[in-house]
Amino acid sequence: MLEIQLSFYGRTYTLMRIPRIFHPEAITQLGHITLDDDAAGHVGRVLRMKAGHEVLLFDGLGAEFPSIITEVSKKSVTVEVTKRLERSSESPLDLHLGQVISRGDKMEFTIQKSVELGVNTITPLISERCGVKLDQKRFDKKLSQWQKVAISACEQSGRNIVPTIRPVMSLEQWCTEEYDGLKLNLHPRATYSINTLPAPVKKVRLLIGPEGGLSSEEIDKTRHYQFEEVLLGPRVLRTETAALTAITALQVRFGDLG
């Protein structure tokens, strides 16, 4: 366990927190396992945990596994899995975010917070006004980093199922994919808001455009592919703010927030 000390009105309180650690391979039985390099580095070098400390593993398949660290070296960490617990914190709303790639660390921020809010799938998109221009090799490197951001968000937020970060694709490719749920595109001049959408809704594909917005031709294409236009309110939001606001509104309306 890790100790967190908080002080209030001259008194110090110690809280015990058990770190949640992702294990990339399915945990099929109790007993000793060796953590992968990323997890071992986090446990050993960052958290400075020792033998005898507790961790809570999850393998992305829905369960979590209370474990005891049995050995810590410079290169590896071994734990003993003592129990399997079935626990779900997944929203009843299946939410797929199509996010046009934003500059700098905004994309990582959007991925991190959308995973915390319960998104199931994220597809990074390229549109006409996308400000990020990378070759395939650099996009592949970005994809690996974005998946790590999603894993870290699951560790922090208590999710036991890791959302999928799909390969980068064009906006039109994404729009043409078959989908049997509600398809939404944010538009500042839309007639309806998320609160006016008819319930119940179990699946949503949400499109968030780039900082410069979608072109008129792209908006026409979304209409052609049966995307419903909704607005969030009277103010124009940045792309990362729009994504998280829309996700929150959808989770309040159809999911498990509020």
**Based on the structure, what is the number of domains in the chain?**
2
CATH code at position 58: 2.40.240.20
Domain check: are 52 and 140 in the same one?
no
Q: What is the tens place of the pLDDT at every residue in 108-146?
A: 999 999 999 999 999 999 999 887 877 888 888 999 999
How far is 84 from 86, CA to CA, in rounded Å? Answer: 7
Domain check: are 79 and 103 in the same one?
no
The range of the structural domain enclosing residue 205 comes to 94-254
Q: What is the tens place of the pLDDT at every residue in 54-96?
A: 999 999 999 999 999 999 998 899 999 999 999 899 999 999 9
Kindly state the DSSP code that residue 43 receives in the 8-state scheme.
I
- pLDDT tier for residue 223 given thresholds of 50, 70 and 90: very high
pTM over 0.85: yes
**How many angstroms separate the Cα of 161 from the Cα of each of 35, 142, 246?**
18, 21, 22
Domain check: are 181 and 155 in the same one?
yes
Model pLDDT, residue 104: 82
Listed residues 86, 106, 139: the one ending a domain: 86
Domain check: are 115 and 211 in the same one?
yes
Listed residues 59, 86, 113: the one ending a domain: 86
Listed residues 50, 68, 86: the one ending a domain: 86
Q: What stretch of H or E contains 153?
A: helix 136-157
Domain check: are 19 and 108 in the same one?
no
Domain check: are 118 and 208 in the same one?
yes
Model pLDDT, residue 1: 52
Domain check: are 107 and 59 in the same one?
no
- pLDDT tier for residue 256 given thresholds of 50, 70 and 90: very high
Domain check: are 189 and 242 in the same one?
yes
Q: What is the tens place of the pLDDT at every residue in 144-199?
A: 999 999 999 999 999 999 999 999 999 999 999 999 999 999 988 888 899 999 88
Single-letter residue type at 142? K
Q: What is the tens place of the pLDDT at every residue in 167-177?
A: 999 999 999 99
How far is 92 from 74, CA to CA, in rounded Å? Answer: 42
Of the chain, the percentage scoring pLDDT greater than 70 comes to 94
Model pLDDT, residue 108: 96
Domain check: are 139 and 247 in the same one?
yes
Averaged pLDDT, 229-247: 93
**How many angstroms separate the Cα of 212 from the Cα of each of 208, 219, 230, 238?**
11, 13, 18, 9
